[in-house]
A and B are shown apart, each in its own frame.
Chain A
Amino acid sequence: NAGVTQTPKFQVLKTGQSMTLQCAQDMNHNSMYWYRQDPGMGLRLIYYSASEGTTDKGEVPNGYNVSRLNKREFSLRLESAAPSQTSVYFCASSHISYEQYFGPGTRLTVT
Chain B
Amino acid sequence: DAKTTQPTSMDCAEGRAANLPCNHSTISGNEYVYWYRQIHSQGPQYIIHGLKNNETNEMASLIITEDRKSSTLILPHATLRDTAVYYCIVRGLYNNNDMRFGAGTRLTVKP
Interfacial residues, chain A to chain B (CB-CB below 8 A): 4, 31, 33, 35, 40-45, 48, 50, 56, 58, 88, 90, 92, 94, 96-105
Q: How many residues of B contact A (CB 8 A)?
A: 20
**Chain A neighbourhood of B93, CB < 8 A:** 97
Known A31-B96, A97-B96: A102·B103 in contact at CB below 8 Å: no
- Give Cα A88 to B38, complex, Å: 13
Interface membership of chain B positions 22-37, coded 1 if the CB is closer than 8 angstroms to chain A and 0 otherwise = 0000000000001000
Verify A105–B43 contact, CB threshold 8 A: yes
B76 to chain A, nearest CB (A): 21
Verify B94–A96 contact, CB threshold 8 A: yes
Number of A-B contacts (CB under 8 A): 56
> For residue B43, which residue of chain A has the nearest CB?
A102
Q: With A94-B96, A100-B96 given, can you name 19 additional A-B contacts, CB distance below 8 Å?
A: A40-B103, A42-B101, A42-B104, A43-B44, A45-B97, A48-B97, A50-B97, A58-B97, A90-B43, A90-B44, A92-B44, A96-B96, A98-B96, A99-B34, A100-B46, A101-B46, A102-B44, A105-B41, A105-B42
- Give Cα A53 to B27, complex, Å: 33
- Give Cα A88 to B41, complex, Å: 9
> For residue B85, which residue of chain A has the nearest CB?
A42
B31 to chain A, nearest CB (A): 12
**Chain B neighbourhood of A4, CB < 8 A:** 43
Known A88-B41, A99-B49, A105-B42: A44·B101 in contact at CB below 8 Å: yes
Verify A45–B99 contact, CB threshold 8 A: yes
> For residue B102, which residue of chain A has the nearest CB?
A42
> For residue B104, which residue of chain A has the nearest CB?
A42
- Give Cα A98 to B103, complex, Å: 22
